[in-house]
């Protein structure tokens, strides 16, 4: 079975270097819609059985744009548990400001999630985020065992989820960096094992 993971297109807050998080949201940039169409065209030959998507506007519009390029209608399930990592009081704040206030936490969030402690700003732990993300993926695979399945979500939560599925421990979830906006990652699942087939690909945007 093949699992396709897409991070949403670039938003205004991405451009402004703000933390969006689980409940923060901002509109996609105009150029993002063109990029989403390019990705949709790349994925046209893939006959998705279903799509699971974060209900955040930026993810929803990305998924809908991709699926307009499919040959036949594809059902979409919007899953609350597939939202971005919750940044608590930092959602909507400039990343530079957040780094100045919580340097250790922000460094750990991007480089070593095992040392990420977001309690001071009422953020969500990586462990809790991984539990809810994995639940969505496993339920999707159980309900649609043939696939392929498209998942559309967010940078931190998708990066962590994918590496977690591959069996990496908490301290190594970010060793390959984070997913780019509108990027495509593909995992293959066979005989109880996940294997990386394609990682963080944006070549179709060139």
Alpha carbon distance 59, 3 (integer Å): 17
Q: What is the pTM of this model?
A: 0.97
Instruction: Answer yes or no: is 11 a known binding residue.
Output: yes
Known catalytic membership, residue 77:
no
Average pLDDT over the chain reads 97
What pLDDT score does 34 carry?
96
Query: Which of 101, 82, 88, 96 is closest to 156 using CA atoms?
Result: 82
Query: Which of 62, 82, 45 is closest to 7 using CA atoms?
Result: 62
What is the DSSP-derived secondary structure letter of residue 193?
E
What is the DSSP-derived secondary structure letter of residue 203?
G
Domain boundaries, the chain: 2-85+126-205
The catalytic position among 61, 79, 84, 91 is 84
> What confidence tier does 206 reach under pLDDT thresholds 50, 70, 90?
confident
What pLDDT score does 154 carry?
98
Going edge to edge, which strands form the sheet with 149-153? 76-78, 50-53, 149-153, 2-7, 184-190, 193-201
> What confidence tier does 86 reach under pLDDT thresholds 50, 70, 90?
very high
Residues 6+ apart with CB under 8 A from 12: 26, 27, 28, 29
Cis peptide before 148 (omega within 30 of 0): yes
Known catalytic membership, residue 49:
no
The catalytic position among 8, 61, 79, 91 is 8
1-30 tens-digit pLDDT: 999 999 999 999 999 999 999 999 999 999
Instruction: Answer yes or no: is 18 a known binding residue.
Output: no
Instruction: Answer yes or no: is 84 a known binding residue.
Output: yes
Query: Which of 108, 45, 40 is closest to 68 using CA atoms?
Result: 40
Superfamily of domain 2-85+126-205: Phosphoglycerate mutase-like (3.40.50.1240)
Residue 4 bridge partners (DSSP):
150, 186
SS3 8: coil
């Amino acid at each position: 079975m093949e699992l396709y993971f897409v991070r949403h297109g670039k938003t205004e807050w991405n451009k402004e270097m703000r933390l969006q998080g689980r409940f923060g949201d901002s509109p996609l940039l105009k150029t993002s819609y063109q990029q989403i169409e390019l990705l949709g065209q790349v994925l046209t030959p893939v006959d998705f059985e279903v799509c699971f998507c974060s209900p955040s506007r930026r993810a929803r519009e990305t998924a809908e744009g991709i699926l307009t390029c499919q040959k036949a209608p594809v059902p979409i399930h919007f899953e609350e548990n597939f939202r971005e990592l919750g940044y608590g009081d930092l959602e909507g704040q400039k990343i530079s400001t957040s780094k100045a206030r919580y340097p250790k936490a922000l460094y750990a969030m991007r480089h070593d999630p095992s040392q990420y402690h977001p309690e001071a700003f009422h953020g969500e732990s990586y462990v809790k985020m991984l539990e809810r993300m994995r639940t969505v993926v496993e339920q999707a695979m159980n309900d649609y065992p043939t696939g392929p399945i498209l998942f559309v979500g967010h940078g931190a939560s998708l990066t962590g989820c994918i590496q977690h599925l591959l069996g990496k421990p908490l301290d190594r979830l970010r060793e390959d960096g984070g997913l780019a906006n509108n990027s495509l990652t593909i995992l293959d699942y066979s005989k109880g094992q996940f294997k990386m087939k394609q990682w963080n690909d944006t070549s179709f945007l060139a």
